[in-house]
């Protein structure tokens, strides 16, 4: 049995233009951090640094939902859940439905998550 290989285009296909726009805005925030790769699965598009995945997204009819990993827990209306992932990391589930929600605060979280993807959390004494 041949295994299906998922692509970013598969995730974008048939989604509302507003959701696709949010996704592209998120990608630009990730691109501003530096080099990364994609790991695409049926469940989500994951953004990976040199050490690990640090954020991910899935488009739906209401916008964009996803996650990012930080060394601290943050509270914000866009963050729908925060869970300890390891003793040093918290995974943050998010939902955004308006471009204004991908503001400088959100970009800061993505920069922090990118550092996690680069493994910078491993050298800290957290």
Whether 94 has a pLDDT exceeding 50, the answer reads yes
Q: What pLDDT was estimated at residue 126?
A: 45
| Lowest mean pLDDT, pick from 3-7, 75-79, 120-124 | 120-124
Query: Taking the model in full, what pTM does it have?
Result: 0.91
User: Hunting for tokens 């922090």 — which residue is that?
Assistant: 112
- Please write the tens of the pLDDT for every residue from 40-65: 999 999 999 999 999 999 999 999 99
Q: Report the mean per-residue pLDDT for the chain.
A: 94
Q: Round to whole Å and give the CA distance between 18 and 24.
A: 10
The pLDDT assigned to 124 comes to 55
Question: Which residues does residue 95 pair with via DSSP β-bridges, in sequence order?
Answer: 65
Question: Could you name the CATH architecture of 8-123?
Answer: Alpha-Beta Complex (3.90)
Residue with the larger pLDDT of the pair 1 and 81: 81
Beta strands 63-70 and 90-96: pairing type? antiparallel
Instruction: Spell out the domain ranges in the chain.
Output: 8-123
């Amino acid at each position: 049995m041949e295994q299906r290989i998922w692509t970013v285009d598969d995730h974008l296909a048939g989604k509302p233009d507003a959701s696709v726009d949010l996704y592209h805005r998120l990608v630009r925030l990730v691109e501003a951090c530096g080099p990364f790769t994609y790991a695409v699965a049926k469940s989500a598009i994951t953004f990976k640094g040199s050490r690990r995945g640090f954020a991910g997204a899935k488009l739906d009819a209401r916008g964009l939902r996803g996650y990012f990993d930080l060394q601290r827990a943050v509270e914000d209306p866009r963050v729908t859940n925060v869970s300890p992932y390891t003793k040093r990391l918290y995974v943050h589930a998010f939902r955004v439905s308006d471009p204004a929600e991908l503001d400088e605060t959100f970009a800061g979280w993505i920069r922090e998550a990118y550092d996690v993807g680069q493994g910078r959390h491993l050298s800290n004494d957290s």
